[in-house]
Amino acid sequence: MAEENERSVVAQKVLMVFDFDHTLVDENSDLYVRKLAPNGELPEEISSLYQDDGWTNYMGEIFKYLHRNGSTPENILNCMSEISLTEGIQELLHFTRKSTSFEHIIISDSNSVFIDHILKKNQLSSLFRTFTNPARFEDNGCLIIEQYHTQDWCPLSTVNLCKGHILNEFISERQQHGVTYHHVIYVGDGFNDLCPGLALRPQDFLMPRVGFKLHKVIEKMAEKNKPVPRSKLEASVVPWSSGLDILQHLRNLPFVKTGQSS
């Protein structure tokens, strides 16, 4: 009897998980800020620092370079204000935020300054819990960035951020607070979204943006039956081009139509 009562108090939710760049917004914010460099170009000594496993260090050097060349916090935030939400995302979020069944998080390899500013500009700050690389402006106005964490367990992720690990930790944390997710809907575009995609269950949905890296990788996996680390992709794959595609998919799901999770 006690076990039945315990189960009855567990809230059943739908978790909406979003990448940020080229998903919620229609730009790569890290690349977009480079327009503030003299002539909009980085010198070779900065460009050559880029490595697949060193994105935060690379961006840190870019921010220092922009600061040396006169960019102020106001310049950087104004630059971020130019970035628009992806088509249809506003309509999608207007739909999901009306229901207490949906929770929303962002897992992104961008940084907290960029994401927080853009969310605030679009009046979305209260909707999301965000997991990303911490950043802040120093007293001299230079933007600095730190790694979210340091990981060596996931070959699909960069050293500074494993999205699958973050997603699993969040779900476990919410479960400890009496919340379970009958469905997780993961929306992304990049290769680093594959790791959390592989963590999804058969009742979940992985939604790759059409024409971007994640979609291409999934297509190749399907064509070649290519093995991937850890596990097979179990979630249903639903490609999207605009937020309206995601919205239409949600509206067609039985648990959304009835207002309950199945």
Q: Which residues are catalytic?
A: 19, 21
Contact 83, 27 (CB under 8 A): yes
CA distance linking residue 114 with residue 10, whole number of Å? 35
Ranges of H-type helices in the chain: 2-8, 29-32, 44-47, 55-68, 73-81, 89-96, 112-121, 163-176, 194-198, 213-224, 243-251, 254-257
CA distance linking residue 67 with residue 75, whole number of Å? 10
Query: C-alpha angle 174/23/32, rounded to 5°?
Result: 120
